[in-house]
């Protein structure tokens, strides 16, 4: 199961970015909580940066690195330059 990006295509980098963000938010929300004998621990900014930076960077590079298709204008269209 992969998440679709803004163009509608399945994207592994978008999936990784969403999962990494979800894991970090879960860690942030459960920081310091003790359940039985298990403790979630504190939020460490270095570990959060180690998770989010590569995944969000890869998503950004992937998204900005894919050029949009160039569609030429129709030959009979008015381009605002006059000369009917």
Domain-located, residue 60: yes
Cα–Cα distance, 59 to 57 (Å, whole number): 5
Question: What pTM, to 2 d.p., does this model score?
Answer: 0.58
Q: Give the confidence band of 15 by pLDDT, cuts at 50, 70, 90.
A: confident
Domain-located, residue 70: no
Owning domain of residue 25: 12-65
Identify which of 2, 1, 17 has the alpha carbon closest to the alpha carbon of residue 62: 17
Q: Where do we find the tokens 């998503």? A: 59
Q: Is the pLDDT of residue 5 over 70?
A: yes
Domain-located, residue 45: yes
Cα–Cα distance, 1 to 4 (Å, whole number): 10
Which of helix, strand or coil describes residue 34? strand
Q: What is the pLDDT of residues 16-73, one digit of tens each?
A: 888 888 888 888 888 888 888 888 777 788 888 888 888 888 878 877 776 667 777 6
Share of the chain above pLDDT 70, in %: 81
User: Into how many domains does the chain fold?
Assistant: 1
Domain-located, residue 56: yes
Beta partners for residue 10, in sequence order:
4
């Amino acid at each position: 199961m992969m998440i679709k990006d803004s163009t509608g295509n399945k994207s592994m980098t978008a999936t990784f970015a969403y999962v990494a963000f979800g894991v970090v938010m879960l860690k942030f929300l459960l920081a310091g909580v003790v359940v039985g004998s298990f403790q979630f621990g504190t939020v460490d900014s270095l570990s959060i940066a180690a998770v989010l930076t590569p995944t969000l960077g890869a998503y950004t590079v992937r998204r900005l690195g894919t050029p949009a298709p160039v569609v030429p204008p129709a030959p009979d269209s008015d381009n605002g330059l006059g000369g009917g």
